[in-house]
Structure 1
Amino acid sequence: MSPRRKKPAPVPLTGDSPTTAPLGNDPILRSVSRAAFALVLLFAFLLLWRGHNAPGGGFIAGLMTVGALILHRMATGTSALHVDPLRLVPWGLALAFLTGLVPYLLGRPFLKSAYGYLTTPLTGEFEWASALLFDFGVYLVVVGGSLAIAYALIDVDPQERVEGDE
């Protein structure tokens, strides 16, 4: 029998640890946040997927994802996102811009969406649209920008003194 390996602990962000997280020692929050995190992300991806045909889209899906990621950070003291959130912003801007540029280069109006239908045995018939790529670019910009702002506010130390404080 091989010995069981321990799962490595998540790496805390700049000085944070589960014991210094605002609510990191609350067992109820930690257990409930796992299920809430998964459900909110699932709903966010549904809004992203259906956003070009129904209410939703990249913006609201991004905000819901940010809410789930902040809940995770509050409950555990660590980030579930393993990259700097600001790195997502240029990728999202590039994707949204290229989604509009391609139709323009093909002689159509800027941001003109193409669409069609696919049928698979698993999902049946569903519509695809190039607007989903634009929505995904918006999603990346919203997640990256909002998380960068939220993390900057979370990392503020209210006891820190700056020049000019008396």
Structure 2
Amino acid sequence: MSSRQKKPPPVGGARTPTPAPLTGDPILRSTSRAVFALVLLFAFLLLWRGHNAPGGGFIAGLMTTCALVLHRIAHGTSALRTDPARLVPWGLALSFGTGLVPYLLGRPFLKSDYGYITTALTGEFEWATALLFDLGVFLVVVGASLAIVYALLDVQPQETVEGDE
């Protein structure tokens, strides 16, 4: 026998995803629910405050990716119901459109506008178009990073070497 043997491909060419090693762990599954919610809450706070303070779409996207990867490891399935790579073009279009609209109106590219709205529930509330740009960056970061992480999680080596058994 050679030191490298090729495993036969799966029947029908379809790969069945193998569950993560910790998927059935009840402690991880129960604590990941609370951690998932807290990390998402913090990510949305960073996204919300990002146009006025440090933070924004990039770091909120990374935090959301971490929460979604934790969910995938704990439960064995993605919390998203769509392919994460589909988020990238939507985020690019939103970010580019946010910069293009002011340019078409004769203002500098990516010029942000802001104003104030008063509601009975929140009182005076500031809005800014920079939040739309940050939302686009958020979608690009979540989509691209999750696509990369999920591709790495689904790697199934097809060759064995001596000592693999």
* TM bracket (short chain): 0.7 to 0.9
CA distance in 2 between counterparts of 1:22 and 1:132 reads 39
Quote the residue 1:98 is aligned against.
Answer: 97
Q: Which string of whole-angstrom CA distances, capped at 9 and with x for unpartnered residues, describes residues 76-125 of structure 1? A: 00000010011000000000000000000000000000000111111111
Does the aligned pair in 2 maintain the 1:119–1:126 contact within 8 Å? yes
Does the aligned pair in 2 maintain the 1:16–1:77 contact within 8 Å? no
Partner secondary structure for residue 102 of structure 2: helix
* TM-score when normalising by structure 1: 0.85
Aligned pairs for 1:11-160 within 5 A: 15-16=16-17, 20-157=19-156, 159-160=157-158
User: Offset of 1:161 from its aligned partner?
Assistant: 2.4
CA distance in 2 between counterparts of 1:153 and 1:34 reads 23
Partner secondary structure for residue 128 of structure 1: strand
CA distance in 1 between counterparts of 2:155 and 2:123 reads 50
CA distance in 2 between counterparts of 1:22 and 1:101 reads 47
AA partner of residue 54 (structure 1): A
Q: Which string of whole-angstrom CA distances, capped at 9 and with x for unpartnered residues, describes residues 44-63 of structure 1? A: 01110110001110000000
CA distance in 2 between counterparts of 1:155 and 1:77 reads 11
Partner secondary structure for residue 78 of structure 1: coil
AA partner of residue 15 (structure 1): T
Unaligned runs of 5+ in 2: 1-14
Unaligned runs of 5+ in 1: 1-13
* TM-score when normalising by structure 2: 0.85
User: Offset of 1:67 from its aligned partner?
Assistant: 0.1
State the aligned residue count: 148
Larger radius of gyration: 2
- Larger RCO (CA within 8 A; separation ≥ 6): 2
CA distance in 1 between counterparts of 2:75 and 2:17 reads 10
